[in-house]
Amino acid sequence: MIEQQSGEQAAGAVAAPTAGQTGILIAKAEALSRGRTRSHLRPDEVAFLWVSRIIIWVFILAVIVPIALIVIASLTAGNSLLVTSVIPSNLSFEHWRNVFDPKQTSMLIWLRNSAIVAGSTAVLSVLLVATTGYAFSRFRFYGKKYGLMALLLMQMFPAQMSFVALYFFLLKIGLLNTLQGLVIVFLGGGIPFNAWLFKGYVDGLPRDLEESAYVDGATKWQAFWKVILPLTRPMMAVIFIFVTIGIYNDYILTNFLISDPSKYTVAVGLRGFINNQFGQNWNDFAAGAIVAAIPIALLFLIFQRWLVSGLAAGAVKG
């Protein structure tokens, strides 16, 4: 039955140039309207499917192999650099233990610092961005148009390229070499882009929501805080994650503004760690890199759908 079906379709496809136009069109339209299940695929569709699969498998291999090499390195005993087999013969968790042992490596401190800076900046950013985006979406006020234009202009300039000025600024206010200083510096940078995102999201919510809250006697702040804000949770999550990932990945500013090793973040700490004595540190580094990557990867994968739509919205709006 299956053979016969696909045979018929193949015959139709091959005969297309020679047979009468009308008959072919009807046959094709029928084939399309039936909605092909897997067993009804034409031979050329089967061929395309399998060629696609093989190409995709090659790319999957290219994605998996580097990750696997890191995992293997983290599980190999001693400071052996040789990858001998897929499952290391001298399997050991010593490098994982080293990551969590403050006497062996400083990775826990770096992770903690990254979590503090990224987490507190992200929370503050969400608050600032939400109020700003909401005001630009809902309120009419003097200077609104120029304010929006300023937001767009600000986001065009790569703020981290003013690292020399930021150094001087933090030095002057006495926060150079502190985690608080980093939070202040990072807080300003991401606001324009994210406020723009948030404004777009609130624009899509019906105004009736607040109007009915006003009728019930709510103040503007209550209408925002109790009615609108809970509805914007997806966008708040997106902004929280954008900010967190951005700070987690920052090297240029953190490295320039922080010189005390006990204040290093993961990116700065790990770079120094692997650049000094590569052979000795490689396996510990591998375990540390995995530990450092897991929280971000989980955040990302859990909120994937929201992140993708958020990014798309941001890209279209500039």
User: Within its chain, how far is the Cα of 289 from the centroid?
Assistant: 17
Cα angle vertex 286, ends 243, 108, to 5°?
60
Nearer to other proteins, 117 or 292 (CB): 292
The span from the CA of 184 to the CA of 267, in Å, is 19
Contacts with 113 (C-beta within 8 Å, 6 or more apart), sequence order: 179, 263, 264, 265, 266
Nearer to other proteins, 8 or 163 (CB): 163
Nearer to other proteins, 77 or 296 (CB): 296
Shortest distance in whole angstroms from residue 298 CB to other proteins: 8
Shortest distance in whole angstroms from residue 127 CB to other proteins: 8
Nearer to other proteins, 219 or 262 (CB): 219
DSSP conformation letters of 18-57: TS-HHHHHHHHHHHHHH---GGG--HHHHHHHHHHHHHHH
Cα atoms in the 13 Å half-sphere on the side-chain side of 106: 19
Nearer to other proteins, 103 or 145 (CB): 145
Shortest distance in whole angstroms from residue 169 CB to other proteins: 6
SS3 of residue 66 by DSSP: helix
Shortest distance in whole angstroms from residue 30 CB to other proteins: 10
The two three-digit tokens of residue 90, written as one number: 């001298």
Shortest distance in whole angstroms from residue 181 CB to other proteins: 10
